[in-house]
Chains A and B, each alone.
Chain A
Amino acid sequence: MRSTVAALLAKELTLEWRTRESVPAMVLFSIATYVVFHFGLDRDRVVGDLASGVLWVTLLFSAILGVNRLFVAEYEQGGFDGFLLAPVDRTALLVAKALTLFLFLCVVELVAVPAFALLLLGPPLTQALPGLVLVLLLANGGIAVLGTLVAGLAIQTRARDLIVPLIALPLLVPVVLAAARCATPLLADGGAGALPGNWLAILAIYDLLFALIAFAVFDFLLED
């Protein structure tokens, strides 16, 4: 399965590099939203739970843009049929797509998080960065797996742009909640506090749970 995932992942990254359809849109959306928050909240700086909420809500909605586009090339250019005709483990598509979305989210955050710090955040990010990176990676994992599952489900429907947020957002509430709770002490005034271990564990368990569910049901999503 590893070579199939590698082939699919290489194809995904090449397509994104050529078309630049997902990542630039996600980055621009994030920055635009932080600008809106900057003026909408009418304050120079945000800290603690408000900062954490703004950060995660924005990242979540920008992730939805990526989830919506995840299977478009497969659907519109016959990629599903091409893949289904190959003698490969179909779960490889789930793994490759989830990895693709994970990488997209990481790239978006490389720009969006500094933009957030610049436009909104009160305390400097330096001290909070190691903890925040851990939270971002765990949350990205959950969004990537769940997003891939929902995108695979929605792509077969005519109203996929509507279906993805309708299904994904409620399911991603625990991820955002846990990630926001984890990030709150990191973004608190007066320097980064300690990571709350219980919320970090919830985030990790939720990732694992949905990875197992996705692994179990993804094959059926591809079935006729």
Chain B
Amino acid sequence: MPHPDPALALRGAGRRYGERAALRDVTLELEAGRTLVVFGPNGAGKTTLLRMLATLLRPHAGEVRVLGRPLPEDGWAVRGRIGFLGHDALLYRELSGRENLRFHARLHRVAIRRVDEVLDAVGMTARSGDPVAELSRGMVQRLAIARAVLHEPDLLLLDEPLANLDPAAATQVAPLIGPGSGRTRVVTSHDPAGGLEGADVALGLKGGRVALLAPAAQVAPAQIAALYA
């Protein structure tokens, strides 16, 4: 029985880049507070799916509803409720981490003291004054996570969020972006065991099509591995 007002609802959603279909006929629902983990080889459409849900790409086919609002028409209404962590940190290299977060806080109309909270939460207070260009990739990823959760979004769209993080850093950011964050999450992963942990629904994409869609508890790591074969 489908949830009356799911956080995500896609019906036959598709997206092209020129003639090439990056995403085809994706249909799924995700209830609020649940986690969807997305698996698939490079070029399967994972990032396209996330960018479409983030309102950065328009769907070219089907229906897409995010937090109850249809896209692209009502994108303006949900942007402030989405936290997006993509491959790019979306931070200016010549600004410090603190300056970058203060800039995003002003765009999202978030109190400046929240910047200190998230810097502390990702363990970057001590290096927050350094230009992003001078930080390691792991540190930049921590700042990107801080940026994504700065405005306390209802929906988190996380593209391989633990990339470049050491185990200690991954543990440190877990309360912000992990299953315990209480937020609806869409997470891409290449790690079958780690990705399924804490996920409610697993989606497998291959060549832009849905190759697997099932409750995470019922998915075996071997099924995920088959996507990459």
Contacts and interface: CB of A to CB of B under 8 A. Distances in A.
A18 B104 CA distance: 19
A67 B167 CA distance: 44
A75 to B, nearest CB: 11
Interface string B75-105: 0100110101010111111110001000110
Contacts of B9: none
B92 A77 contact: yes
Given A15-B95, A19-B94, A85 B54 contact: yes
Interface in A64-100: 73, 77-79, 81-88
Given A79-B90, A81-B86, A224-B57, A11 B95 contact: yes
Contact of B106 (A3, A15, A85): A3
Given A4-B107, A7-B103, A78-B88, A84 B95 contact: no
A84 B91 CA distance: 13
A44 interface: no
Contacts of A3: 106, 109
Contacts of A15: 92, 94-95
Interface string A1-22: 0011011001100110011000
Contacts of A11: 92, 95, 103
Contacts of A223: 58
Interface residues on B, range: 20 to 34
Contacts of A224: 56-58
Contacts of A85: 54-56, 79, 82, 84, 90
Interface in B102-129: 103-104, 106-109
Interface string B57-70: 11000000000000
Interface residues on A, range: 20 to 34
A88 B107 contact: yes
A192 to B, nearest CB: 43
Contacts of B94: 14-15, 18-19
Nearest to A82: B90
Contacts of A6: 106
A123 B202 CA distance: 77
A23 to B, nearest CB: 15
Contact of A87 (B76, B84, B90, B93): B76
A81 B92 contact: no
Nearest to A79: B92
Contacts of B90: 77-79, 81-82, 85
A72 to B, nearest CB: 11
Most-contacted residue by chain A among B57, B58, B79, B106 (CB, 10 A): B106
A83 B84 CA distance: 12
B108 A14 contact: no
Contacts of B91: 77-78, 82
B164 to A, nearest CB: 16
Contacts of B54: 85
3 closest Cβ contacts across the A-B interface?
A87-B80, A7-B106, A86-B107
Interface of A: 3-4, 6-7, 10-11, 14-15, 18-19, 73, 77-79, 81-88, 223-224
